[in-house]
Chains A and B, each alone.
Chain A
Amino acid sequence: MPTIPLISTLESYLKLTSSREQAISSNMANVDTPGYRTRDINFQGELSKAMNGILNESAGGSQSMQLTPVVQEVKGLMERPDGNNVNLDREGLLMSQTQLQYQIGVQLVKHQFHQILSAISGGGQS
């Protein structure tokens, strides 16, 4: 478990983003499967759940819980005659969005490590 709270927050953010990426991949893979229903994770809800878990832990809570995001069906999408309701525009947009979110997380982690490194080397010269 990382000692720096921000890095563990970013870790759960990255985990969540890659889980969402996986859900989108499987929606795209099943674009021609009859009866397949679009699946997704509730990003906001899962993120706040993970954040609360980290906050509890840093506040002295003992349990280090490993939250697995709940994958659920997406409601309100138009269904094709074969019972499949994958919307390619939705999946494509979400995939680029998730990719960028992941990039943000990675950049922030890199930035954290750079800060630690610059503290170790006494600033200035790297």
Chain B
Amino acid sequence: MNLFDSLTISGSALAAERQRSEIVAANLANAETTHTDAGGPYRRKEVVFQSSSASSFRLALASTGNMNLPVAGTVQISQVVEDPTPPVMRYEPNHPDANKDGYVAYPAINPVSEMVDLMSSVRSYQLNASAVAAAKQMIQQSIDILKS
């Protein structure tokens, strides 16, 4: 329980939000990708955030002297899931990935909703960056006790 744990918590959120915006960027970049290694069009990806729990348990264990446990309250990406939405079919008979009826499967990605997700992620990143600044200032103040 100290101020450096606050930095760990905010840092985990910064990492998670950064990964989230990377996934959104990949979705936007591949909005028109019809051909992937796995076959078929690109599938939209989403992150799942998970909070580390067991706060009082961690406190109890920490009081026994084992301090190597993860800090409670951090956030991490537990998994990256694929959106099950079926691909959008467009009639383009001359496209190399067209099926026998002349339809091409495009990923079901809405650029507007991706941008909204990206903005939300950026705001959360800023919020946690300001939390880091606050914790840093508090640590600096404690160090300043030593100065006279």
Say how far B6's CB is from chain A's closest CB, in angstroms: 4
Instruction: Tell me how many residues of B have a C-beta within 8 Å of chain A.
Output: 38
Cα–Cα, bound, A29→B20 (Å): 13
Chain B residues in the interface with A (C-beta under 8 A): 1-3, 5-6, 9-10, 12-13, 16-17, 20, 49-51, 55-56, 59, 63, 72-75, 120-121, 124, 127-128, 131, 134-135, 137-138, 141-142, 144-145, 148
Q: Are B145 and A110 interface neighbours, CB within 8 A?
A: yes
A residues with CB within 8 A of B: 14-15, 18-19, 21-34, 36, 39, 66, 68, 70-71, 88, 92, 95-96, 99, 102-103, 106, 109-110, 113-114, 117
Complex Cα distance, B63 from A68, in Å, reads 9
User: Given the complex of chains A and B, what is the CA–CA distance between A20 and B50 in angstroms?
Assistant: 21
Q: Is the beta-carbon distance between A29 and B135 smaller than 8 angstroms? A: no
The distance from the CB of A35 to the nearest CB of chain B, in whole angstroms, is: 8
- A18–B1 touching, CB < 8 Å: yes
Cβ-defined contact, A34 with B128, below 8 A: no
Give chain A nearest CB distance to B110 CB in angstroms.
19
Q: Which residues of A have CB within 8 Å of B10?
A: 25, 28-29
- Known contacts A19-B1, A22-B5, A28-B131; A39/B55 CB under 8 A: yes
Shortest C-beta distance, B92 to chain A (Å), equals: 37
**What distance in Å separates the Cβ of B148 from its nearest Cβ neighbour in chain A?**
7
24 of the cross-chain contacts (CB-CB < 8 Å) are A18-B6, A19-B1, A22-B3, A22-B6, A23-B73, A25-B9, A25-B135, A26-B51, A28-B13, A28-B127, A29-B16, A30-B49, A32-B120, A33-B49, A33-B51, A68-B59, A68-B63, A71-B56, A99-B137, A103-B138, A106-B142, A113-B145, A113-B148, A117-B148
Complex: A30 Cα to B5 Cα, angstroms: 15
